[in-house]
Amino acid sequence: MEKSDLLNQLRIDRSAPAAAPASTRTPLVLGGVMAALVLGGVGVWLFARDGALAVETRPVRAIASAPVQASVLDATGYITARRLATVSAKVTGRVKTLSIEEGMRVEEGQVLATLDATDEQAARALSAARLDAARSQLAEIRANLANAEREAKRQDDLVARKLASAQAADAARTTVAALRARLASAEREVVVAERSLAIADLDLDNTIVRAPFAGVVTVKAAQPGEIISPLSAGGGFTRTGIGTIVDMDSLEIQVDVNENFINRVMPGQPVEATLNAYPDWKIPAEVIAIIPTADRSKATVKVRIALKEKDARIVPDMGVRVAFLEERKADAAPAEAPKGVLVPRAALRREGSEDVAYVLADGRLARRVVQVGALTAGEARQVLDGVAAGERVVVAPADGLADGAPAAEKTP
């Protein structure tokens, strides 16, 4: 490298901008640090919000002023209908019209479907024609009989005046007797024709399917053009009914009670029912009867329970939990209302020597030490201290929950 090139590299460039003084750089550095802190805080908040634990909660309920009846036995069962029918026609035929849909309310006697009635209509027309013919023949015989009776009377008068022979009078009387016999036969033929017409009307009416009772259609099993039959003829190509109707007013609960505890159940005993679909809804009920037979394979006895509330949310085959309540004696003095609140049994857990529950409030979990009482109400337990009515507690809390951890209500 030449000396001139080295000297050029050491020369100071006067045209380059001067460096900013330290007093000017300091606010810029502080602003960048503050912006980074704000962005970091927002990121932490977003991470905490998105990473919140999803939990299922139930409300804490206040205890009513009346004392809570203790449960002497819990059992599970199903909603059943005492009146349920698969509706079909009395005759085999092809569906012509169908006027039902699932969930439709029907009244007793309402027309649900009609079958093709071409043959039945033809048979009725023939029966009606035979009845008309029998009635016409009957009218003719009656007219002939009236004329014969008049002729016999004239012959009797002529014989009395010796103007006619006795043989002519006998012939006239014989004609009257014969016509009377024909009249009786014709009258019986008219009765037969009327009954044949009634049978034809019944056969025609059997092609109309009507609701046997008021209820709700739960199953639509046929379509126009399909063949239905009251018998299972034709294999899978023949329907045995057009649909199923359930009388919703006949809904009740049936549960299987272990035979070792059936002595705790009696007819008329108060019951509190809880549908699996609506765990917060307590339905008052009452024991109807204990079926007097046991299931040898399961060692259980079936119990029928009447629902005291009718609601559209209650439908057949729903799962239900029931609590048989202790019946209060009539001469018992009124007890003081119990203290505390009712907390779902699944929300309580034992940690060491403490009973705890986790409350969800403002997106955070709060660990509460609670004092559990002795009363039970279905799936709820009495809690004397630690939580208040209206708060929401975590159901079936998982291991590792921490006080103050972010959480959110689980969405279905």
Tens-digit pLDDT profile for residues 69-101: 678 899 999 999 999 999 988 888 999 999 999
In the chain, what's the furthest Cα-to-Cα distance? Answer: 190
Name the pLDDT band for 49 (thresholds 50, 70, 90): very low
Q: Which pLDDT score, from 0 to 100, does residue 335 have?
A: 52
Confidence of residue 17 (pLDDT cuts 50, 70, 90): very low
Cβ atoms of 143 and 118 within 8 Å: the answer is no
CA distances to 39, 101, 192, 315, 317 from 45, in Å: 10, 52, 94, 45, 47
Structure confidence at residue 388 (pLDDT): 92
- Averaged over 136-158, what is the pLDDT? 90
Residue showing tokens 């709700």: 216
Q: What pLDDT sits at residue 41?
A: 47
Q: Quick check: 107 pLDDT over 90? A: yes
Most confident of 35-44, 160-169, 214-223: 214-223
Beta strands 227-228 and 238-239 are: parallel
Give the model's pLDDT for residue 306: 95
The DSSP H or E segment spanning 140 is helix 118-160
User: What confidence category does residue 334 fall into, taking pLDDT thresholds of 50, 70 and 90?
Assistant: low
Q: Are strands 341-344 and 319-325 parallel, antiparallel or unpaired?
A: unpaired
**Average of pLDDT values for 155-166?**
84
**Mean confidence (pLDDT) of the chain:** 83
Location of structure tokens 């092609």: 207
Q: Please check whether residue 69 is in contact with residue 342, taking contact to mean a CB–CB distance below 8 angstroms.
A: no
For residue 46, the model assigns a pLDDT of: 40
pLDDT band at 374 (very low <50, low <70, confident <90, very high): confident
Q: Alpha carbon of 189 to those of 130, 182, 184, 326, 380: distances in Å?
A: 9, 10, 9, 72, 78
Contact 327/269 with Cβ under 8 angstroms?
yes
In angstroms, the first-to-last Cα distance of the chain is 80
Query: What band does 293 get if pLDDT is binned at 50, 70 and 90?
Result: very high
- pLDDT (tens digit, 9 = 90+) per residue, 384-408? 999 998 899 999 888 878 888 898 8
pTM of the prediction?
Answer: 0.55
- Let me know: does 80 contact 254? Beta carbons within 8 Å: yes
DSSP label at 60? P
CA atoms within 13 A on the CB side of 358: 28
pLDDT over threshold 50, residue 44 = no
